[in-house]
Amino acid sequence: MRPLLRTNDPVTISAVGALLDGAGIPHIVLDQNMSIVEGSLGIIPRRIMVPDEDWAAARRVLVDAGLAHELEP
């Protein structure tokens, strides 16, 4: 698995998840439950991870959707 992006924005997480689902690219959101540790402050960014073999395709999907600025460098 490789990180595709990190964000604290739940709308971005939802939108990216929908785009990846639509493209048939498996993904997982990590660190969603860290709010228990951080006190629900939203300090720790959530990571969207995709399989290594789907990473390039997932990046293309986000670039095509105008979300290139959200991608990990």
Q: Per residue in 9-42, pLDDT tens?
A: 989 999 999 999 999 999 999 987 775 665 566 6
Q: Please, is 17 exposed, middle or buried when counting C-beta atoms within 10 Å of its C-beta (0-12, 13-18, 19+)?
A: middle
Q: Per residue in 50-63, pLDDT tens?
A: 999 999 999 999 99
Name the domain count of the chain. 1
Q: What angle do CA 48, 54, 57 make, to 5 degrees?
A: 95
**Domain of residue 43, residue span:** 2-70
pTM of the entire predicted model: 0.86
Find the CATH number of the domain harbouring 40. 3.30.70.790
> Measuring CA to CA, which residue among 53, 65, 55 is closest to residue 5?
55
Q: What is the DSSP letter of 71?
A: B
